[in-house]
Amino acid sequence: MLDAAEIRIGARVLLGPGVHLYTTTHPIDPIERASGLQLAAPIRIGDDCWIGGQTVIMPGVSIGARSVIGAGSVVTRDIAADTVASGNPCRVLRSLK
């Protein structure tokens, strides 16, 4: 975990081996990046989620309750509750409801 901002993990969440949670990033502009500026945004994982092994969750992402993220995914955008998502970049595969 790289936690320059809050990481909130709900109840009964299952994290597979090697899951990475990154709250920090840097500017795209090379001049700003050279200044050493870092940006941070919180990560939130809702109750009863299952995050597959070797998944990377990027800054500012929220994963809704009861969702499943497939192993090896790179999550760059919010995932709604009751959703199965997987891939690089992570994409919604189906709803659980």
Domain annotation covers residue 17: yes
Domain annotation covers residue 66: yes
User: For the chain (length 97 residues), average pLDDT per consecutive 10?
Assistant: 92 98 92 88 98 98 99 99 98 96
Query: What pLDDT is recorded for position 32?
Result: 87
Tell me how many domains the chain contains: 1
The catalytic residue among 8, 12, 20, 26 is 26
Query: What pLDDT is recorded for position 37?
Result: 82
**Structural domain boundaries enclosing 72:** 7-22+43-95
Which residues fall within 8 angstroms of residue 31, CB to CB, at 6 or more apart? Answer: none
Domain annotation covers residue 18: yes
pTM: 0.92
Tokens describing residue 34 = 């050279």
Confirm whether 26 is a catalytic residue. yes
Query: What pLDDT is recorded for position 94?
Result: 98
Domain annotation covers residue 38: no
Domain annotation covers residue 67: yes
Q: How far apart are CA 8 and CA 62, in angstroms?
A: 9
CATH number of the domain encompassing residue 84: 2.160.10.10
Which residues fall within 8 angstroms of residue 18, CB to CB, at 6 or more apart? Answer: 53, 54
